[in-house]
Amino acid sequence: MKLLSYLSIAILSSTLSWGQELQIVDSKLAINSAVGTSTSTVIKVKNTSNHIMIIGIEKVEENIRSSQVATFCLNNDCSETNIVEHHSIIKLFPGEIYSGFSTSLETGLVPGNSSVKFLIYNVANTSESIEAEITYSIKDKDKEGVLFSSDAVKLSDVFPNPVREQAIFKYAYLNPDKEAKIIIHNVLGSVIGEFSLSPYESRLIIPVDGYNPGVYFYTLYIDNKAVATKKMVVRK
């Protein structure tokens, strides 16, 4: 009986020591953000053991809303080619910190709380593992989401951003004698679309289903003069 107890304690101690051989360090895992935005954070992993590890990471649980999208990226670059489900080829030396894992959340349209949990592990011995849970507190967008305001037109930023189906702009036409329009360019400067603002409306909706995924720029023109430009990201 004593031998069995000693063995149980030894196994438990060994398990605890394995779990401590990987650490999450200097990572912001509690995120505050607003609806209609994209927020990201870096997961920094430290090898606290005395041996080299090949580490993997995978998403094991997510509690997000239907309008939200959570992604896991490599090299802190969440462009389409770097979004993955799991990864396991990072060599981590004793004492080394790896800062190339990052997560991104498109916050969607509804405020509330969300969370995504990741498992980081030693590929050669999956008992050497640690969990990283990122929690998100999403609030309504504040008034700072105004792209341009004058005595002629007040125009909001595009919403949501990144855009998947429709790009939405809210505006107030304060001087109907002025002509206002939005022109969308791609990164090469080519015009993708031109949309006039009606003095009798307060919202402009632009379908983007015909746009290729990527980065675009939208510019507000008043009387054919560019007054404000901002970036828009289209994703499928």
- One domain, residues 73 and 44: yes
Phi, psi of 235 (to 5 degrees): -130, 150
Phi, psi of 8 (to 5 degrees): -65, -45
- One domain, residues 93 and 181: no
| pLDDT at residue 72 greater than cutoff 50 | yes
Using a 10 angstrom Cβ sphere, with 0-12 exposed, 13-18 middle and 19 or more buried, the burial of residue 186 is: middle
Residue 143, both tokens:
């008034």
- One domain, residues 118 and 166: no
In the DSSP assignment, the letter for residue 163 is B
- One domain, residues 156 and 216: yes
- One domain, residues 187 and 225: yes
- One domain, residues 180 and 92: no
| pLDDT at residue 26 greater than cutoff 90 | no
pLDDT digits (tens, 9 = 90+) for 170-198: 898 888 889 999 999 998 889 999 999 99
pLDDT digits (tens, 9 = 90+) for 102-157: 888 888 767 889 999 999 999 998 888 999 999 999 887 654 577 888 888 889 89
User: 7 lies in a domain?
Assistant: no
Containing structural domain, residue 216: 146-234
User: 14 lies in a domain?
Assistant: no
- Which domain-ending residue is among 139, 165, 191? 139
pLDDT digits (tens, 9 = 90+) for 56-70: 888 889 999 877 888
Residues in the chain: 236
Confidence (pLDDT) at 82: 52
Q: Of 191, 27, 36, 198, give the one whose Cα is nearest residue 107.
A: 36
Q: What is the mean pLDDT of residues 85-96?
A: 84
Give yes or no for a contact between 166 and 208, defined as CB atoms under 8 angstroms apart.
Answer: yes
| CA 203 vs CA 5, 83, 115, 145, 206: distances in Å | 71, 33, 32, 15, 10
- One domain, residues 103 and 57: yes
For the chain, what is the domain count? 2
Helix (H, G, I), strand (E, B) or coil at 23: strand
CATH number at residue 224: 2.60.40.1930
CATH number at residue 33: 2.60.40.10
| pLDDT at residue 12 greater than cutoff 50 | no
Phi, psi of 36 (to 5 degrees): 75, 20
Confidence (pLDDT) at 35: 74
Give yes or no for a contact between 68 and 107, defined as CB atoms under 8 angstroms apart.
Answer: yes
| DSSP H helix total and E strand total for the chain | 1, 18
Beta strands 30-34 and 125-139 are parallel
| CA 44 vs CA 34, 75, 77: distances in Å | 24, 12, 15
Q: Of 199, 198, 190, 178, give the one whose Cα is nearest residue 219.
A: 190
Q: What is the mean pLDDT of residues 200-222?
A: 92
- One domain, residues 163 and 116: no
- One domain, residues 78 and 28: yes
User: 13 lies in a domain?
Assistant: no
Strand partners, 168: 159, 205
- Which domain-ending residue is among 117, 139, 161? 139
